[in-house]
Amino acid sequence: MSTAAIHAGWSAQDRHRAVTPPVYASSAYAHPDHASLKALFQRRQEGFAYSRSGNPTTVVLEERITALEGGIDAIAVASGQAATSIALCALAAPGGHVVASSLLYGGTTEFLDDTLADFGVNTTVVDPWDLDAWERAITPATRAVIVESIANPGAQLVDLDAISEIAHARDVPVVVDSTLASPALYRPGDHGADLVVHSATKYLCGHGTTIGGLIVDTGSFDARRCPERWERLTTLNRRFGVTFADEYERGGSGLLAYARAKYVTDFGATLPAASAQQILVGIETLDLRMGKISADAALLAARLHEAAGVARVDHPTIPGRPDAALAERDFPRGTSGVLALELAGGEEAAAAFCDALELWTLAVNIGDARSLVCHPGSTTHSHLTPAQREACGVSPGTVRLSVGLEDLEDLWSDLERGLTAAARTTAEVPALVG
Ligand SMILES: Cc1ncc(COP(=O)(O)O)c(C=O)c1O
């Protein structure tokens, strides 16, 4: 893992033998003659024409994440949101059906509920721990199931092997948002996932500098198994003049070739080359970072669980969590740096807690080197209905923590400051005498 994180996709092979993958800041690429550019557009030749659909720096990132996830191909896109939306459009639009875990990032739930619904795609939401519910929800129209390997913000884990078995028995591909885990902690492809999506903005980049997203094909989905169902891949595409499923014969991904040609190009959700390089640099230290972050998050979760004024802590190591056995079985290196706590005093206590912190930064991001805090109910999950918020474990008193790389004791003493401020909001006001 740590070797591939540094070397996969690049070996100082450019003209100047640059050690670090350079930023190819070029919109277009010159060709020696008419025949060369024509062959590229006819998909008879590999190469670059225009950076909206391919860039040499971005390709290094695509090769690196493919190696880290043990996949066959990847596409880098403009954001994690673009990764999820393009993956689901490629599988399910128009008119398909998706089965989604109730424990998803708020932006994904909103996309499913609103924008993907505009494409005629309906979604059935299920409790990811209820395997019978997955079984019941899949219909002949289902084109994808989607889960998070570690959910945001409660760090809930899923039995992906079991969910994949249910989906694959009905020939339905499994999409896993593995943003929180990153390949350093968990490889969804080893547990049945067909597509892995990442918000590279988070742990892969690791320093809060860049927005980016990735879609990885793990190699288990082959549209040719159900040619009628995936006829957009298995029949000749008039616009592009190719049958995308032919990619499988070359060891590539028919699905990602289709997603890149159609959705990345049409939606224009391209990852800038400079962003690809930032993410590549971040990935070099991913393995080191994820171990410390996961260990520190577990220690802070245990202390918060004992703290006064905290009604609940959401983290797989907390006694009574139904996913404790999954943590032991599938996450030997830990479960990443995100945890949620519910303050007994509700939103007022949560606001006082956030405002009192000096070291933790109040910001709606995770996976930064800096520790971050936010109130999901009024930010990342604020556009959901109260029922949707409840289904993903977000209440008015919920605070999300994203543990960074600072000293653990510094982080803890700041959290104690926050807890003291939260306690003041619920302390009984002394009765006035006289
Ligand atoms: C689990 C998860 N998936 C996807 C996204 C969307 O990623 P981005 O903000 O890079 O579009 C986020 C963002 O917070 C996330 O936490």
**Contact criterion met (CB below 8 Å) for 154 and 340:** yes
Q: How far is the CA of 71 from the centre of ligand 1 (A)?
A: 21
For the cut 50, the answer to whether the pLDDT of residue 66 exceeds it is yes
Is the pLDDT at 12 greater than 90, yes or no? no
Q: Distance from the CA of 81 to the center of ligand 1, in angstroms? A: 6
pLDDT above 50: residue 434: no
Q: Are residues 48 and 120 in the same domain?
A: yes
User: 54 in ligand 1 pocket by Cβ < 6 Å?
Assistant: no
Task: Please report the pLDDT score of residue 44 as a whole number.
Answer: 87
Residue 388 CA to ligand 1 centre (angstroms):
17
DSSP 3-state assignment of 53? coil
Question: Considering the domain boundaries, does residue 241 fall inside one?
Answer: yes
**Does ligand 1 have an atom closer than 6 angstroms to the CB of 80?**
yes
pLDDT for res 384: 86
Sign of the dihedral defined by the CA atoms of residues 134, 138, 142, 143, in that order = positive
The pick from 177, 182, 202, 210 for probing ligand 1's pocket by mutation, whose C-beta has the most ligand atoms within 8 angstroms, reads 202
Q: Are 276 and 375 within one domain?
A: no
Pocket test for ligand 1, best of 111, 201, 214, 279 (most atoms within 8 A of CB): 201
Residues 197 and 304 in one domain: no
Query: Looking at residue 63, what DSSP letter applies?
Result: H
DSSP 175: E
Question: 253 and 397 share a domain?
Answer: no
Residue 366 sits in a domain whose CATH number is: 3.90.1150.10
Over 80: is that where the pLDDT of 428 sits?
Answer: no
In this structure, the answer to whether residues 197 and 226 fall within a common structural domain is yes
Ligand 1 centroid vs 157 CA: distance in angstroms? 17
CATH for 114: 3.40.640.10
Q: What domain range includes position 29?
A: 2-282
127 in a domain, yes or no? yes
Ligand 1 atom nearest to 81, measured from its CA: 11
Q: Are 425 and 354 in contact (CB under 8 A)?
A: no
Question: What mean pLDDT comes out for the span 176-181?
Answer: 98
Residue 312 has pLDDT above 70, yes or no: yes
Mean of the per-residue pLDDT values of the chain? 95
Task: Read off the pLDDT of residues 99-114 as tens digits, 9 standing for 90 and up.
Answer: 999 999 989 999 999 9
Best residue among 156, 179, 339, 382 to mutate for probing ligand 1's pocket (most ligand atoms within 8 Å of CB) is 179
End position of a domain, from candidates 282, 308, 332: 282
253 belongs to a structural domain: yes
Nearest CA among 407, 396, 327 for reference residue 155: 327
Distance from the alpha carbon of residue 258 to the mean position of ligand 1, in angstroms: 23
| 3-class secondary structure, 427 | coil
Residue 200 CA to ligand 1 center (angstroms) comes to 8
Per-residue pLDDT reduced to its tens digit, 82-99: 999 999 999 998 999 999
Of 256, 282, 308, the one marking the end of a domain is: 282
Pair 306, 277 in one domain: no
Ligand 1 pocket, residue 81 CB under 6 Å: yes
Q: Could you tell me if the CB of 152 is within 6 A of ligand 1?
A: yes
429 within a domain of the structure (yes/no): no
Per-residue model confidence as pLDDT tens digits over 187-208 = 999 999 999 999 999 999 999 9
Is residue 431 included in any domain, yes or no? no
Q: Are residues 272 and 292 in the same domain?
A: no
Q: Could you tell me if 51 and 180 lie in one domain?
A: yes
Nearest-angstrom CA–CA distance, 400 and 335 = 15
- Same domain? For 57 and 189 the reply is yes
Question: 332 and 194 share a domain?
Answer: no
Q: Do 351 and 336 have their domain in common? A: yes
Render pLDDT for 409-420 as a digit per residue (tens, 0 to 9). 999 999 999 999
31: its two tokens: 């060709």
The angle at the Cα of 251, spanning 245 to 255, to the nearest 5 degrees, equals 35
Q: Is residue 150 domain-resident?
A: yes
Higher pLDDT, 13 or 424: 424
Count of domains forming the chain: 2
Looking at the structure, do residues 269 and 314 belong to the same domain, yes or no? no
Q: Say what the pLDDT of residue 390 is.
A: 87
Q: Ligand 1: distance of its center to the CA of 31 in Å?
A: 37
